[in-house]
Amino acid sequence: MDKKINTAFYVLLCIFCIFVLRLWHLQVIKGSEYKKLDERNRLRVVDVPAPRGVIYDRNDNPLVKNVMSFDVSIVKEDIPKDYEILSELGKLVVLTAEEIKKRARATENPFEAIKLRQDVSFEEVAKIEAKKIDFPGLQVEVTSAREYLYGQTASHVLGYLGNPTPKQLSTPEYSDVPRQDYIGQFGIEKRYDSTLRGTPGKKIVEVDALGNVIKFVRIQKPVRGNDIKLTLDINVQSEAEKALEDKSGAVVAVKADTGEVLALVSAPSFNPNLFVGGINSKDWKELLNDPRKPLMNRAIQNHFPPGSTFKIVTALAALEKGTVTESTPFFCGGATTFGRVFRCWKDGGHGGVSLHRAIVESCDVYFYEIGKRINIDTIAKYASALGLGRPTGIELDGEASGLVPSTKWKLKARKEKWYQGETLSVAIGQGYLSVTPIQMARMMAAVVNGGKLFKPHLVKDEDIEAEPESVADINPEYVELVKRGLIGVVYEGGGTGRAARSGIVSIGGKTGTAQVIGGAVKGKYLPDEFQDHAWFVSFAPQYNAEIAVSVFVEHGGHGGSTAAPIAKRVIETYFNPPKKDSEDVEQENQNTGEQKQEEQVPENQEQAKPNAG
Amino acid sequence: MIDRRLLKDFDWGFLLMVIILALIGLMTIFSATRPLLEAEQHPFYLKQLNWIILSLVCFSLMLIFDYRWLVRFAHIFYILGVVLLVFVLIAGRKGMGAQRWINLGFLSFQPSEFFKLFFVGALARYLSGLEQGIKLGSKQLLRMLAGFLIFPAILILKQPDLGTMLILIFIFTAMVLTVGIEKKILITVVVIGLIATPVAGKFLWGGLKDYQKNRIIAFIDPQVDPQGIGYHVAQSKVSIGAGGFLGKGYLRGTQGPYRFLPENHTDFIFSIFAEEWGFIGSLVLFTSYLFIIWRGFETAKQSRDIEGTYLALGVTYMFSFYFIVNVGMTLGLMPVVGIPLPLMSYGGTALLSNFLALSIIENVRMRRFASYY
């Protein structure tokens, strides 16, 4: 018996030896290998999003800021299986049990955190923290979110953020962007994304099997994105949006001598704050299906015939070509014939008119007469020289090119030769012509600054002096002639743009109407959707013009009554900014006062706004 | 009662080693379940401490009774045990996919944990009744198989508790081999076994539960599915391996508290110990277990009577088997069978049953020179 017991003990001893050998193998021979596996278990590399650069307006007012946002998520494995408990959790984060389940299905990884809610308020965070014991795996994370300080204002310029699309992630530009990060998907946020974005940092953290962070091991700090200073003046921008009220349309204001965009408005607009933390599908659908298309940037995407505003171009072309001179008279009897009858907007006619009165009263017949005598390619040459019919190159996506017709164009596009009769339509800004509001603002600027065609731009580069793209070869004498006409439009009796009269600064401009339905149906009531689109293209002040503004109001009817007052408000805000508590503002106001004395005194003093200074 | 003689022959070293191992277990449970994000330590270690104290009291109380009394009533305990096994199948509490517990209201326990002791007792009683020095014949063997093993083994497998069933089979085989069986029977059994294994294996494989099959598959290739069936073993090896030669140090282990290693304070407590104490610590731990086993065999050899020998032997085999299967599993040398590491794993019933078993060894040992009365 004792012998057998000894045998049993020896057998056990052998097994012990095997165990010790195995231990030696695991812990000593392969120890470092298992240490790596152990670390791979625990250590995770987590992206640290870089704070995005701030966007300022030209006066250093921040337009956006980065704010703390509390996000609620739960580890997939910890989602309650019981329906009632799940509903209870749903109530806490304002989701139904089904929605939570749906979100959880997006991932296979049982340890991944499922985002339940973003940008939770402080009070709610406290509520959720208190309930954390009931729902293990529920976490509140602090992330950075974008806040657009002026809400809807300048939304088409600023844009919005969104998760990168799979397609974007595959391009080298976005290769270092974490999938859950937000990048610019519209507007300046998109165009200057690489500037604003910064470089995300990384941190190495220790996590447990459920992915809970236990401690930080190492952190590589993110590099903050660069700030951007826009040329936009937020006061001018806001005033333009206010002036448009609830109409659809666009306003573009540029600095005449640089092309800096002071305001770029498209109405209706949207609230970019809706996109913060990912827009929900209901809001997104509403934006997409809104018949008024709030996501469309009308300032650069709408292209319509410029109507009578184009008479500025026709007049310059005719003067340059010698078709007319300052004193060339034509008689307007309300219509003229050229193959068919071409009607003036004024039934009774303007009588005998010179070029100046033709501009002031917007006499169509005068320009038809020019149209009879001028080559379409001459008009096209000057229209192109003033930047019409092609994208301006502003730093926004989706700009429309519009169209300036020519004989060459018609042969190519329509396979037809040009008829002189069509030139008559083009001469008054109708026909094949189509332009965008930003092109019109740029054209106006080029006319009043001596032909210098600047690229309209939104981002201010302090170091580089603005260089014109090209200089239109126009005789300054003719420019003066046209400018006088444009001042007359606003300040002379019978002028179509009298609604733009300002007591602060002398404004010149041209009204225009883009026909919605062919032929003039006058004096009859028309429903809104058949009302013509209204244009007003303007500049100020008369001498050494600083600002050029184009206003476009969809279905606004006459440019003189709807668009001109908007331009006036925009221009007045530029010259007379709302009062601030700083000294340099006062100085600005004094400057405006001096200018006022130099400038032409407006006729209607009672319309002048009291000087805020 | 206990006279002076018994106290003089008391093996203090043995008891001390048992207590030390239980306390090492307690420390490791504390480390494995220490909180990381929560502020409070889960009270696993306190519960275990209570069970250690209770087990020590029971250990001591059991010593009062001469082990021969245990042998005398072993068959009654055995029948009681079988009744409990039947009862647990009918009215037991289910938990974790098995029906192993009987709920007494104030506490619940697993009758199969205690049945092992009754089984050893009954086996000792039967074997000591036989004529000594004679090898077991085929008739004897069949009678023992039918009388002791088959019925309870089936009952326990039905729960299902594969680990305990394997323990019963192992104790039975080891005891029979120690007594000795006729050579031709041994040869016959081996030959039949070799032929029958493929056939019976198929039948047995079909009779296994899915998780039991998975464990065997996982044993053959633990890397098949790191998050699934082989995950336990793979993570156990990572824990042990990451310990290295000297270990990470006490309360420095991560696999347990970070919950990468499941069952870290119960079946895989050794992996946590090895992670923190390394090769050196593990070697010391192994030696401590070997010491207890060695003392068990010594006690069997020195017993004043054959009943004591068989009792001590049965308990020592049981203890050794627990140790080998558990550590073999954590080292990835054996399939995952839900067997705790004796004395160290968290779990009250198992701890108590192990203390009671070891108390039998002490009982036999302290009475090795005692006279009959």
Rounded CA-CA distance A53/A64 in Å is 9
**Could you report the predicted ipTM of this complex, rounded to two decimals?**
0.91
What angle separates helix B111-129 from helix B306-330, to the nearest 10 degrees?
140
Model confidence at A607, pLDDT cuts 50, 70, 90, reads very low
Model pLDDT, residue A127? 83
A137 to chain B: closest CA residue: B37
Provide the residue count of chain B.
Answer: 373
pLDDT digits (tens, 9 = 90+) for A92-124: 887 788 888 877 776 666 666 777 877 788 888
Higher-confidence residue of A73 and B344: namely B344
Say if the Cβ atoms of B244 and A28 lie within 8 Å.
Answer: yes
Model confidence at B7, pLDDT cuts 50, 70, 90, reads confident
Q: Which of B178, B274, B332 sits opposite A4 (nearest CB)?
A: B178
CB atoms within 10 A of CB B362: 23
Q: How far is C-alpha A279 from the chain's CA centre? A: 18
Cα dist. A244→A249, A271, A573, B77, B348 in Å? 7, 17, 14, 97, 80
Say if the Cβ atoms of A209 and B328 lie within 8 Å.
Answer: no
Partners of A13 on chain B (C-beta within 8 Å) are 290
DSSP assignment letter at A605? G
Model pLDDT, residue A580? 61
Strands (E), A180-276: 183-184, 201-207, 213-220, 228-229, 249-255, 261-267
Say if the Cβ atoms of B238 and A208 lie within 8 Å.
Answer: no
In the predicted structure, residue A203 carries a pLDDT above the cut 80: no
Structure tokens at A401: 């090119």
pLDDT digits (tens, 9 = 90+) for A183-195: 899 999 999 998 9
Model pLDDT, residue A530? 74
pLDDT digits (tens, 9 = 90+) for B277-323: 999 999 999 999 999 999 999 999 999 999 999 999 999 999 999 99
Assess A12–B contact: CB distance below 8 Å, yes or no.
yes
Rounded CA-CA distance B49/B53 in Å is 6
Model confidence at A592, pLDDT cuts 50, 70, 90, reads very low
DSSP assignment letter at A310? G
Query: At a CB cut-off of 8 Å and minimum separation 6, what does A188 contact?
Result: A55, A157, A158, A159, A228, A230, A395, A396, A458, A459
Residues 200 to 229 of A: which have CB under 8 A from any B CB? 206-210, 212, 214
In the predicted structure, residue B23 carries a pLDDT above the cut 80: yes
In the predicted structure, residue B184 carries a pLDDT above the cut 80: yes
Rounded CA-CA distance B159/B93 in Å is 11
Partners of A28 on chain B (C-beta within 8 Å) are 244-245, 279
Q: Which of A512-526, B118-132, B214-228, B353-367 has the lowest mean pLDDT?
A: B214-228
CB atoms within 10 A of CB A410: 17
Our CA-based measurement puts residue A24 at a distance from the nearest CA of chain B, in whole angstroms, of 7
A212 to chain B: closest CA residue: B37
pLDDT digits (tens, 9 = 90+) for A144-167: 788 999 989 999 999 998 878 878
Say if the Cβ atoms of B279 and A24 lie within 8 Å.
Answer: yes
Q: Which of A27, A32, A38 sits opposite B279 (nearest CB)?
A: A27
Model pLDDT, residue A120? 80
Assess B290–A contact: CB distance below 8 Å, yes or no.
yes
All domains of chain A in start order, with CATH? 38-78+115-120+138-230 (3.90.1310.10), 234-607 (3.40.710.10)
Say if the Cβ atoms of A5 and B301 lie within 8 Å.
Answer: yes
Model pLDDT, residue B97? 61
Query: At a CB cut-off of 8 Å and minimum separation 6, what does A30 contact?
Result: B241
Assess B327–A contact: CB distance below 8 Å, yes or no.
yes
Find the mean pLDDT for residues A429-438.
94
Our CA-based measurement puts residue A122 at a distance from the nearest CA of chain B, in whole angstroms, of 23
Find the mean pLDDT for residues B57-72.
91
pLDDT digits (tens, 9 = 90+) for A248-305: 999 999 999 999 999 999 989 999 988 876 677 788 888 889 998 999 999 999 899 9
Check: CB of residue A428 under 8 Å from CB of residue A310. yes
Model confidence at B37, pLDDT cuts 50, 70, 90, reads low
Rounded CA-CA distance A343/A335 in Å is 4
Say if the Cβ atoms of B255 and A41 lie within 8 Å.
Answer: yes
pLDDT digits (tens, 9 = 90+) for A5-36: 999 999 999 999 999 999 999 999 999 999 88
In the predicted structure, residue A212 carries a pLDDT above the cut 80: no
Q: Which of A326-335, A395-404, B81-90, B129-138 has the lowest mean pLDDT?
A: B129-138
Say if the Cβ atoms of A38 and B37 lie within 8 Å.
Answer: no
Strongest mean pLDDT among A185-199, A599-613, B216-230: A185-199
Q: Which of A208-212, A233-237, B59-63 has the lowest mean pLDDT?
A: A208-212
**Alpha helix stretches (DSSP H) within A24-121:** 31-42, 83-93, 97-104
Higher-confidence residue of A222 and A380: namely A380
Check: CB of residue A357 under 8 Å from CB of residue A328. no
Rounded CA-CA distance A465/A236 in Å is 23
pLDDT digits (tens, 9 = 90+) for A541-568: 999 999 999 999 998 888 888 999 999 9
Q: Which of A1, A26, A206 sits opposite B237 (nearest CB)?
A: A26
Rounded CA-CA distance A32/B269 in Å is 22
Higher-confidence residue of A386 and B156: namely A386
Find the mean pLDDT for residues B178-206.
78
Partners of A20 on chain B (C-beta within 8 Å) are 283, 286
Strongest mean pLDDT among A85-94, A204-213, B45-54: B45-54
Partners of B222 on chain A (C-beta within 8 Å) are none
Say if the Cβ atoms of A19 and B333 lie within 8 Å.
Answer: yes
Tell me the longest C-alpha to C-alpha distance in chain A: 142
Check: CB of residue B18 under 8 Å from CB of residue B358. yes
Q: Which residues of A536-561 are buried (b: 16+ CB within 10 A; e: fewer)?
A: bbbbbbbeebbbbbbbbbbbbbbbbb
For A440, counting Cβ atoms within 10 Å of its Cβ (0-12 exposed, 13-18 middle, 19+ buried), the class is: buried
CB pairs below 8 Å between A and B: how many? 114
Model confidence at A337, pLDDT cuts 50, 70, 90, reads very high
Higher-confidence residue of B315 and A88: namely B315
Query: At a CB cut-off of 8 Å and minimum separation 6, what does B329 contact?
Result: B233, B236, B267, B335, B336, B337, B339
In the predicted model, what is the mean pLDDT of chain B?
86
Model pLDDT, residue A109? 62
Q: Which of A2, A6, A26 sits opposite B331 (nearest CB)?
A: A26
Model pLDDT, residue B218? 63
Say if the Cβ atoms of B259 and A26 lie within 8 Å.
Answer: no
Assess B260–A contact: CB distance below 8 Å, yes or no.
yes
Catalytic residue (choose from A73, A155, A238, A308): A308
In the predicted structure, residue B154 carries a pLDDT above the cut 80: yes
Say if the Cβ atoms of B324 and A12 lie within 8 Å.
Answer: yes
Model pLDDT, residue A359? 95
3-state secondary structure A136-184: CCEEEEEEEEEEECCCCCCHHHHCCEECCCHHHHCCHHHCCCCCCCCEE
Higher-confidence residue of B61 and A201: namely B61
Model confidence at A518, pLDDT cuts 50, 70, 90, reads low
Mutate one of A3, A9, A212 to test the B interface: name it (highest B CB count within 10 A). A9
Model confidence at A600, pLDDT cuts 50, 70, 90, reads very low
Strands (E), A339-487: 340-343, 351-353, 452-453, 470-471
A35 to chain B: closest CA residue: B242
In the predicted structure, residue A64 carries a pLDDT above the cut 70: yes
Partners of A22 on chain B (C-beta within 8 Å) are 331-333
Q: Which residue, chain included where needed, has tokens 């827009």?
A: A279
Say if the Cβ atoms of A38 and B242 lie within 8 Å.
Answer: yes
Rounded CA-CA distance A433/A406 in Å is 10
What is the value of pTM for the model shown?
Answer: 0.64
Our CA-based measurement puts residue A176 at a distance from the nearest CA of chain B, in whole angstroms, of 30
Model confidence at A594, pLDDT cuts 50, 70, 90, reads very low
Higher-confidence residue of A402 and A220: namely A402
Clarify whether A434 is annotated catalytic: no
Our CA-based measurement puts residue B187 at a distance from the nearest CA of chain A, in whole angstroms, of 18
Say if the Cβ atoms of B241 and A35 lie within 8 Å.
Answer: yes
Structure tokens at A57: 């307006």
Higher-confidence residue of B367 and A219: namely B367
In the predicted structure, residue A585 carries a pLDDT above the cut 50: no
For B283, counting Cβ atoms within 10 Å of its Cβ (0-12 exposed, 13-18 middle, 19+ buried), the class is: middle
Partners of B324 on chain A (C-beta within 8 Å) are 12, 15
Structure tokens at B53: 């104290």
In the predicted structure, residue A142 carries a pLDDT above the cut 80: no
Assess A26–B contact: CB distance below 8 Å, yes or no.
yes
Does the N-terminal peptide bond of residue A268 adopt cis geometry, omega within 30 degrees of 0? Answer: yes
CB atoms within 10 A of CB A383: 27
Higher-confidence residue of B96 and B90: namely B90
Structure tokens at A538: 């303007």
Question: Half-sphere exposure of A290 toward its Cβ, with a 13 Å CA cutoff?
Answer: 16
User: A492 in helix, strand or coil?
Assistant: coil
pLDDT digits (tens, 9 = 90+) for A340-390: 999 998 888 899 999 999 999 999 999 999 999 999 999 999 999 999 999
Our CA-based measurement puts residue B59 at a distance from the nearest CA of chain A, in whole angstroms, of 25
Model pLDDT, residue A36? 87
Say if the Cβ atoms of A23 and B331 lie within 8 Å.
Answer: yes
Percentage of chain A exceeding pLDDT 90? 53
In the predicted structure, residue B166 carries a pLDDT above the cut 60: yes
Q: Strand B93-95 to strand B98-103: parallel, antiparallel, or no bridges (unpaired)?
A: antiparallel
B253: nearest Cα among B4, B34, B21: B34
In the predicted structure, residue A582 carries a pLDDT above the cut 80: no
Rounded CA-CA distance A38/A42 in Å is 7
For residue A493, report the phi and psi dihedrals to the nearest 5 degrees.
-65, 140
DSSP A333-371: SSEEEESEEEE-SSTT--EEE-HHHHHHHT-HHHHHHHH
